[in-house]
Amino acid sequence: MSALFDVSGKVACVTGASSGLGRAAASLLAASGARVIGVARRAEELAAWRADTQGETACVSANLADRQGLKAVAHAVCTPFGPVDILINAAGINTRQHADEVTEDGWDVTLDLNLAAPFFLAQSLVTGMKAKGWGRIINFASLQSQRAFPNGIAYGASKGGVEQMTRAMAEAWSSHGITANAVAPGFFRTELTGPVFADPALAQRNADQTCVGRNGEPADLDGPLMFFCSPASDYVTGQTLFVDGGFTAK
Ligand SMILES: NC(=O)c1ccc[n+]([C@@H]2O[C@H](COP(=O)([O-])OP(=O)(O)OC[C@H]3O[C@@H](n4cnc5c(N)ncnc54)[C@H](OP(=O)(O)O)[C@@H]3O)[C@@H](O)[C@H]2O)c1
């Protein structure tokens, strides 16, 4: 492993580690020698992730949409291995409510989980990163950070916020050696995108919209994530990288 991309010995917190892209990111970091704490609600799925994953891991079961609990989550996350070096905010939901039908609860849970939790977790965890003079925050943006899709108003608002919040985190904390960047995946088959992939014609239309000609596979995010988590990206901050096979390029 080149020192450029070395994360061995780093302490990494990955939210959404019970499923999909968060789980893949948590496994990638553990396999790369980081000590990884996975966070999500489903304790049994987190246990299954740990059982399938080589390396040093721990988990915290918590509802990240409960803003009042986030300080306690941040404390619990720092308990197994000490202060966190790398925070990956991958937990997210899409309630897929049409603009005419959006409920207050649907709006609140989307904004609380997708936007408020990444911020308040980061706010707590940067204290430890500042003490080390080094840290990494990687947020999960989306095609919907920049594009409108059907039934996506709450999700799109949250993900548009994630892109701007990433710039603002960079402005606030990069002088302490803490970079903040985001990945914006195209279409990847996960629980979240179940409704999209359940419609083969829609999934194919999305694949055809890319330059590469296919939808994403979890491993497509490995390189971008290792770049953002490691010293390779020391001078890159406030950026959102679209890992979308060129979806947004055409
Ligand atoms: N898949 C894609 O094509 C795609 C595209 C663009 C962006 N993204 C973004 O990528 C990230 C990961 O999504 P995914 O596709 O991997 O979805 P996923 O498989 O549905 O995973 C979502 C994760 O979020 C966790 N989560 C949901 N509600 C939570 C809550 N209240 N508290 C704590 N954790 C909660 C889930 O765990 P529990 O249910 O166990 O709590 C799960 O681990 C999301 O931010 C999503 O917006 C995905």
Select from 15, 36, 41, 112 the residue to mutate for testing ligand 1; criterion: most ligand atoms less than 8 Å from CB.
41
146 CA to centre of ligand 1 in angstroms: 19
CB-facing half-sphere around the CA of 102: CA atoms within 13 A: 18
Q: What are phi and psi of 152, to 5 degrees?
A: -125, 20
- pLDDT for 1 equals 58
125 with 13: CB under 8 angstroms?
yes
Burial status of residue 101 (CB atoms within 10 A of its CB: 0-12, 13-18, 19 or more)? exposed
CA distance 50 to 59: 8
Q: Which CATH architecture has domain 2-243?
A: 3-Layer(aba) Sandwich (3.40)
CA proximity to 113, closest of 224, 24, 181, 22: 22
* Type and span of the H or E element at 11: strand 11-15
172 CA to centre of ligand 1 in angstroms: 26
User: Per the structure block, which two tokens stand in for 213?
Assistant: 């000609």
Catalytic choice (140, 155, 173, 187): 155
- For each of the chain's 250 residues, which pLDDT tens digit applies? 579 999 999 999 999 999 999 999 999 999 999 999 999 999 999 999 999 999 999 999 999 999 999 999 999 999 999 999 999 999 999 999 999 999 999 999 999 999 999 999 999 999 999 999 999 999 999 999 999 999 999 999 999 999 999 999 999 999 999 999 999 999 999 999 999 999 999 999 999 999 999 999 999 999 999 999 999 999 999 999 999 999 999 9
pTM, full prediction: 0.98
Burial status of residue 29 (CB atoms within 10 A of its CB: 0-12, 13-18, 19 or more)? buried
90 with 22: CB under 8 angstroms?
yes
Sign of the dihedral defined by the CA atoms of residues 237, 239, 244, 245, in that order = negative
Domain ranges of the chain: 2-243
216 CA to centre of ligand 1 in angstroms: 15
